[in-house]
Amino acid sequence: MKVQSKDTLYFTLLLLAFILIIIIMSLGYDRETRLMPLLIGIPTFLLLALQILFQFYPNLQNQFEIDIFSPAGAGKEKNRAQEKSGSLLFPVALVFSYFILLLLAGFLVATPLYLLTFFRLQGKLSWLKCIFAAGIAWLLLYLVFSVGMNFILFEGLLFGGRL
């Protein structure tokens, strides 16, 4: 059986697993506490299961591709999901690396390092431009938050910061 889009299938399975965990956890709570989560969770779970079925039977999905303002525009969603683009790994890795750097070294060290890495690897800027742009951003961050707002930015676990 041919799958319409493997990426969408995996993402929908992930959502299904999340809702399933919520439903299972809800069963452990008292009647009133679990009532609404189950009322919302079970239909959402069933709709997700239906969505997974659509991945194997695309014709069935067309019945629900409805655009009330332009019936001719129905089905655009599918095309958007199928648009191909660059790798997701690098930008996501950069965002999470920035968080880890923040945790370890704090804002005033992590921010210029993140910016340098981003400008050099993603923007392909020259070293001079990278250092200049990162320096300006660092200065703005320091002036606005530390000096202007007298706000204590996290120093990082390596420099005495506490969670």
Partner 1 sequence: MLEAILSALSVLLSVKGLLCVSLGCVWGLILGALPGVGGPTGLILLLPLTFGMNPMIAMLLYVGVMGGSPFGGSISAILLNVPGTPINAATCFDGYPMAQRGEAGKALGISATASCLGAFFGLAILIIILPIARAVILAFTPPEFFMVILFGLATVVITSRGNMIKGFISGGIGIILSFIGFCNVTGGVRYSLGTDYLWDGIKLVPVFIGLFAISEAIKLSVDKKETISERGVVFTRLGGAWEGFIEVFKHKWAFLRGAAIGTIIGIIPGVGGVVANFLSYTVAVQLSKHPETFGRGNPEGVIASESANNAKDGGALVPTVVFGIPGSLELAILLGAFILHGLVPGPALLKDHLDLVWVLILGLALSNLIASSLGFFLIKTLVRITTVNVTYIIPAIVVLSFTGVFAMRTELWDIFLAAIFGLFGYGMRRHGFPLVPLVIGYVLGAIAEKSFHQSLMVAYGSYTIFFTRPIPVILMILTLVSLCVPFWLSRKPAKGE
Half-sphere exposure of 144 (CA within 13 A, CB side): 8
Per-residue three-class SS string for 96-130: HHHHHHHHHHCHHHHHHHHHHHHHHHHCCCCHHHH
CA distance 127 to 121: 11
- Closest approach of Cβ 96 to partner 1, in Å? 6
Q: How far is the CB of 80 from partner 1 (least distance, A)?
A: 6
Indicate the Cα dihedral angle 129, 132, 136, 137, nearest 10°.
50
For partner 1, give the closer residue by CB, 1 or 72: 72
- Rounded least distance, CB 1 to partner 1, Å: 20
Q: Which is nearer to partner 1, 22 or 109 (CB)?
A: 22
Q: How far is the CB of 2 from partner 1 (least distance, A)?
A: 18
User: Which H/E stretch holds residue 26?
Assistant: helix 6-26
CA distances to 22, 88, 94 from 7, in Å? 23, 12, 21
CB of 2 or CB of 31, closer to partner 1: 31
Note the maximum CA span of the chain.
63
Work out how close the CB of 19 gets to partner 1 at its nearest, in angstroms, rounded to a whole number. Answer: 7
Quick count: other Cβ atoms within 10 Å of Cβ 114? 19
Closer to partner 1 at the Cβ: 2 or 80? 80
Q: Which is nearer to partner 1, 2 or 69 (CB)?
A: 69
